[in-house]
Amino acid sequence: MATKNHYAFVIDVARCIDCRACLVACSVENNVPMDHTRIWVYDQGLQGTWPDLSRAFVPYNCMHCDNPPCTEVCVSGATYKDATSGLVLVDQEACIGCGYCVAACPYGARYIDQSRGVVDKCTACVQRLEVGLQPACVATCVGKSRLFGDLNDPTSEASLALKNAMSVTRLDYEGNGMDADPNIFYLNLPDTSSIKASDTFGQVPQSTLPRPSQYTLSEAGWKKVAIPLVAVAMGATFLAQAIFFTKQLIEGEKDFED
C-alpha cells in the first residue's frame, strides 16, 4: 500500500542501554494508564561465557506494518492504516475494545484499556508528527538508539541511518496468506531467537519473534460458520420468493376469490 509518507522506526540495538526513558516519555505524552505500556524493551539476558559476554536490549513497539493483520479483522473499521502517513491507528470513538485485533497482531503491540473499553497502541505520536516533532520515545532517547523518519524522503534521519547501516533486520511475519512487512528496522540486532522478555507489567509478549496471527473463537466462528449459515438461509428464502414471483409473473395474478 503506497502511502504519501512511509514512516518507519530505525532502531539501533547496539545503542540501547535499557534505561526505559522511552517508556516513561511515551506514557507521559499519551496518558497511558499505569498498568500498561505502549512500548517496551526486551532484555536478551547475558549471552556467551565469560569473558566473552554480550547482552542486547531490543526496543519494541507497534511496527506500523505495510499490510497490518490487525486491520484485517477489525469489524467496525476502527483500526485503519492512515492513507497519508501510512501509520496504523485506532479510532477509539469507533473501537469497542473487543480484542479481535489484539489476537491478530503478531507482535503483541496492542492492549485493551478496559477502563475505557478500547484498544490502545503506539501511534508514533501522530499529534507530535503533525506539528513537526519527533515521537516522544525518539525525542527522549539518550543513546540515539531510536530513530524515526519518512522513508519516502531520502534525506530523513531514518533513511540515512538505513543507508549507512552495517546490518538491517526486520522481524517480518508471513503466514495466513499475509505478509505483514513491518516498519521497524533493527540495526545490529544479534540472534533474535534468544531474546526474551524482561517483563515490566506482565503485558508484553515473551519473545521478540512474531507469533502467528490468531483469530478469536467468535471471529473465526463468524467467518466460518455464521456467514455461510446466513448466506444459505438468505439464499434459500430469496430463491423461494423468486420462484413464486416468476410463477406469478408467468401465470398472471389470480385473486383467491376468482
Partner 1 sequence: MSHKNIPLPERQRLRQKMIKKHNLANILTHWFNVASWLLLLSTGIAIISSPRLGITPIWWQEMFRNLFGSDANLIRFHYTIGFLWIFVILFNVLIGFRKYFVPFASHRMLLDKDDIDWMMIKPLQMLGFRKDKELPPQDAYNAGQKIYSYFVVLCTIGIMITGPVMVFKSLFPPIVKQIAQPIHFICVFVIVAWLFIHVYMGAIFPEEKEAFFSMFSGKVSAWYARAHHEKWYNQMLKEEMEWQDNVEKEVLESTHLEKTSGAD
Q: Which of 22, 25, 74, 138 binds partner 1 (CB under 8 A)?
A: 74
Helices (H), 6-88: 21-30, 69-73
Cα(104)–Cα(215) distance, integer angstroms: 6
What part of residues 77-116 is at the interface with partner 1 (CB under 8 A)?
A: 77-78, 91, 93-100, 102, 112, 114-116
Residue 102 or 137 having the CB closest to partner 1: 102
* Number of residues that this document lists for the chain: 258
Q: Does 203 bind partner 1 (CB under 8 A)?
A: no
Q: How far is the CB of 250 from partner 1 (least distance, A)?
A: 13
- Rounded CA gap, 124 and 244, in Å? 58
Residue 211 CB partners (closer than 8 Å, separation 6+): 106, 108, 205
- Told to check if 199 binds partner 1 by CB under 8 A, we report no
The closest alpha carbon to 203, from 140, 121, 146, 124, belongs to: 121
Query: Using the 8-state DSSP alphabet, how is residue 252 labeled?
Result: -
Closer by beta carbon to partner 1, 67 or else 207: 67
Minimal distance, residue 83 CB to partner 1, in Å: 12
**Single-letter amino acid code for the residue at 115:** S
DSSP bridge partners of 81: 88
- Give the span between the Cα atoms of 158 and 90, in whole angstroms: 24
In the bound complex, what is the minimum distance in angstroms from residue 74's beta carbon to partner 1? 6
User: Which grid cell is 130?
Assistant: 503533525
Q: Identify the residue among 199, 221, 228, 246 touching partner 1 (CB under 8 A).
A: 221
Tell the smallest beta-carbon distance from residue 176 to partner 1 (Å): 10
For partner 1, which stretch binds (CB under 8 A), given 51-59, 120-128, 159-167, 210-218? Answer: 210-218
Closest to partner 1 by CB, 45 vs 221, is: 221
- In the bound state with partner 1, the residue whose beta carbon lies nearer, of 130 and 257, is 257
Nearest to 165 by CA among 6, 4, 13: 13
Binder of partner 1 out of 25, 32, 73, 87 (CB under 8 A): 73
Supply the minimum distance, in Å, between the C-beta of residue 223 and partner 1: 6
Q: Are 16 and 64 in contact (CB under 8 A)?
A: no
Task: State the residues that interact with partner 1 by CB under 8 A.
Answer: 71-78, 91, 93-100, 102, 112, 114-118, 215-219, 221-223, 226-227, 229-230, 233-234, 236-238, 240-241, 244-245, 248, 253-257
